[in-house]
Structure formats: C-alpha cells, structure tokens
C-alpha cells in the first residue's frame, strides 16, 4: 500500500465503509454525511479558537478528509478528478486583498 496515493486512501475508506456496512445502515446518506462533515469542521474550528495543539488540528482535519473522501464513495463521484479540474480552474483566477487577507475568487458582482 502506498500511503501517499489517493487510490490507497480511497480503498482504505471503502474497506471502512464495508466493515460497518455503511451502505445498508444510513452511513452513506448524503444529508447525514453533510451534517457529520459540518460537525468535524466545527472541531477544526475549535482547535483554532481554543488554541489546541497541531496534533489535534491534524487529527480533526483527517476526520474531515476521511468523511469527504467517503462522501465521494457514497455519492459516486471521482473526487480525485474533481480536485485536479477545480485546481486548474482556481489557478486561472485573480487574487485580491479583502480586509487585509488574500482572496482568490471570480469576484462576480464585486466592483473592481
Ligand atoms: Mg473529530
């Protein structure tokens, strides 16, 4: 197993879904998964706002990544392909400093 490969990560997450039979027990329901991802995002936020360790931040980020990749399995889309397509699109965008922080966006409906 190559731990740096998206394919290996996805296979490990598929094995986790299979182990607990997510498919037949609501574990692959999209609305449920979105709620779980929001929960994990809140835990990442708490790491920042409560000044938790980098180890805690890494663990909560991994929770979110595992859920996100599992959502790609549940909703049957190719997240790896979507990632590269989106990154290519983002790389075409301009950046702008907004309230002191850089933002890369299409800036639709915003005055130049
Ligand atoms: Mg967590």
Q: 43 alpha carbon to ligand 1 midpoint, in Å?
A: 6
Q: Is residue 82 located within the same domain as residue 59?
A: no
Q: 91 alpha carbon to ligand 1 midpoint, in Å?
A: 30
Q: 64 alpha carbon to ligand 1 midpoint, in Å?
A: 7
The mean of the pLDDT values for the chain is 97
pLDDT of 110: 84
Q: Is residue 84 located within the same domain as residue 72?
A: no
- Among residues 77, 68, 89, 70, the alpha carbon closest in space to that of 16 is found at 70
- CA distance linking residue 40 with residue 24, whole number of Å: 23
Q: Is residue 73 located within the same domain as residue 85?
A: no
- C-alpha dihedral (41, 43, 48, 50), degrees to nearest 10: 150
Q: How many domains, the chain?
A: 2
From residue 16, give the alpha-carbon distance in Å to each of 6, 13, 65.
15, 5, 14
pLDDT of 1: 86
pLDDT of 112: 63
- C-alpha dihedral (48, 51, 54, 55), degrees to nearest 10: -110
Q: What is the arithmetic mean of pLDDT over 96-100?
A: 96
Q: Which residues are close to ligand 1, an ion, with C-beta < 5 A?
A: 43, 60, 63
Q: 31 alpha carbon to ligand 1 midpoint, in Å?
A: 18
- Structural domain including 50 reads 1-77
pLDDT tens digits along 35-78: 999 999 999 999 999 999 999 999 999 999 999 999 999 999 99
């Amino acid at each position: 197993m190559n731990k740096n490969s998206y394919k290996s990560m996805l296979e490990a997450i598929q094995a986790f879904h299979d182990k607990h039979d997510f498919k037949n027990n609501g574990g692959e329901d999209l609305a449920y998964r979105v709620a779980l991802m929001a929960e994990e995002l809140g835990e990442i936020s708490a790491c920042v706002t409560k000044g938790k360790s980098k180890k805690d931040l890494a663990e909560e980020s991994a929770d979110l990544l595992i859920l996100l990749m599992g959502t790609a399995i549940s909703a049957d889309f190719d997240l790896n392909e979507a990632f590269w397509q989106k990154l290519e699109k983002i790389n075409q965008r301009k950046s702008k400093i907004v309230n002191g922080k850089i933002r890369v966006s299409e800036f639709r409906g915003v005055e130049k």
